[in-house]
Amino acid sequence: MSEFQIYKQQVVDTCHTLLERGYLKATEGNISARIKGQNAFAITPSNYDYAKMQAEDICILDFEAQRLEGEMKPSVESGMHAGVYQTRPDVHCIIHTHQPYASALALIKAPIPALFDEQVTRLGRSVEIIPYAPSGTGFLKNAVKSKIKNGNNAYIMQNHGVLIFGGNMEQAIHNMALLEKCALTYLIAIITEKKVTRIPFPIREIAFAKLRADEKKFAKI
Ligand SMILES: [Zn+2]
């Protein structure tokens, strides 16, 4: 059995969970997990139906996107995932989806301000917009790398979808669902055209400090 089996299975299980919950459709999006102690990660293959996906379909790549194991063509966004792992040592799992409510905000370039305590504790001070760049390009990888240094765990990619991080897969899944809830709530609020209130500034900073402390722990794993 592959030494990477545990990571491959984790990625496949996450794909099936997100498919069942409606966050992934057919072949959209991609999911990866950092291999502990190595400059490598497990990632979903390109353009392959999640319903059919099995552990042996997952690709193992190093941070130069060179294949270490797997027969399938890796996700076209592999370079973007490698860039995140190189930039953010606290990130151990990445989920990229085209989930509809957050993607709606991606179309109107509307970042989500600090609306809820739990949002800031898990996702960061705000959910910012990563400027548009075509999928699978170095332009997108560089746009992502320059944005994620602020330590947030959720980003909206203009005219594309979302990018979610976690210290482990359970966190990443939770963060992805939390982002979609915040996006839907924010959309409903702005449609009313009334003033959208935010949590008080000191509370936001206390909540963000908790997230940063959590990230420091995961950066040492
Ligand atoms: Zn995408």
Instruction: Note the pLDDT tens digit of each residue in 20-39.
Output: 998 988 788 999 999 999 99
Q: How far is the CA of 155 from the centre of ligand 1 (A)?
A: 13
DSSP reduced 3-state for 153: coil
Q: How far is the CA of 113 from the centre of ligand 1 (A)?
A: 23
Quick one: pLDDT at residue 61?
A: 97
Quick one: pLDDT at residue 2?
A: 83
Kindly give the residue spans of alpha helices, DSSP state H, lying in 21-158.
78-87, 100-107, 117-123, 138-147
Instruction: Give pLDDT tens digits for 169-183.
Output: 999 999 999 999 999
Q: Confirm whether 56 is a catalytic residue.
A: no
Quick one: pLDDT at residue 26?
A: 76
Quick one: pLDDT at residue 27?
A: 82
Q: How far is the CA of 162 from the centre of ligand 1 (A)?
A: 8
Q: How far is the CA of 136 from the centre of ligand 1 (A)?
A: 9
Pick out the chain residues at pLDDT < 50. none
The one catalytic residue in 3, 28, 56, 77 is 77
Q: What protein residues have CB closer than 5 angstroms to ion ligand 1?
A: 161
Q: Measure CA 11 to chain center.
A: 13
Quick one: pLDDT at residue 137?
A: 95
Contacting residues for 163 by C-beta, under 8 A, at least 6 apart: 80, 84, 94, 95, 96, 130, 144, 148, 154, 155, 157
Quick one: pLDDT at residue 221?
A: 85
Q: How far is the CA of 146 from the centre of ligand 1 (A)?
A: 18
Quick one: pLDDT at residue 134?
A: 96
